Amino acid sequence: MQASPTPKVGSTIVAEPAPIAIDWASTALLIIDMQRDFLEPGGFGETLGNDVSQLARAVAPIGAVLKAARALGLLVIHTREGHLPDLSDAPPAKVARGAPSLRIGDPGPMGRILIRGEPGHDIVAALAPEDDEIVIDKPGKGAFYATELGDVLQKYGVENLLVCGVTTEVCVNTTVREANDRGYRCIVIGDGCASYFPEFHQAGLAMIKAQGGIFGWVTDSAAILAAMSAANADA
Ligand code: TIU
């Protein structure tokens, strides 16, 4: 499925609470919900009252890691949060929540809000998946809930996940917690995550790496790029 074979070499990634040694052959890049619905005006995120410009800072770090991951032949998995056009997979408790300007399924400037197949559901152009990359559509916050992600990771022998995307404290944290309980090592790329609330971004990362890495590790894109570049040189 991937364009080039993953090098059978390992690297140690500088991270908190401690460096972590990984084998690239059992590692995937998991990019969470970098969709127009969350990052661009007129989408789901803005209907909830959020300042969507807060999320733009994650695009360039993710783009750099994505480019290096492709060069290394790493398994790349993108996720998208969204619902079927008939809303049959959207719990009423989610659709009815709060007082948004538009609800899930309502028509908006990028099509129906948070609905699969609509322009707003697409991943932002800068991070568009390539044809050989896996895209997981998810109805919830966690990427394992009601999706094929677990089967995909098992099929490819993945043990370690480099995790980035939006938002830090919502879908990234939920997915990391799900993955941690399933035995995956999650290495979260801090500057490749963003929140509408900077203080929640900081807290979201802090609670992953606290207590000796209770949910996983936190690093940054520079550390990932350095490790990938060294692995490429070794390959
Ligand atoms: N609202 C918010 O912060 N996030 C979401 O609704 N979904 C994701 O995080 N993808």
Contact 166 CB / ligand 1 (< 6 Å) = yes
**pLDDT tens-digit profile of 182-229?**
999 999 999 999 999 999 999 999 999 999 999 999 999 999 999 999
**Helix, strand, or coil here: 166?**
strand
Residue 5 has pLDDT above 80, yes or no: no
Which residues are the active-site residues? Answer: 33, 138, 171
Tell me the two tokens of residue 19.
Answer: 């460096």
Q: Token pair of 229, please?
A: 């570049």
Nearest atom, ligand 1, residue 48 CA: 1
Question: CA-CA distance, 17 to 220, in Å (whole number)?
Answer: 13
21 C-alpha to ligand 1 centroid (Å):
30
pLDDT digits (tens, 9 = 90+) for 112-161: 999 999 999 999 999 999 999 999 999 999 999 999 999 999 999 999 99
Of 31, 34, 38, best ligand 1 pocket probe by most atoms within 8 Å of the beta carbon = 38
- Which protein residue's CA is at the shortest distance from atom 7 of ligand 1? 171
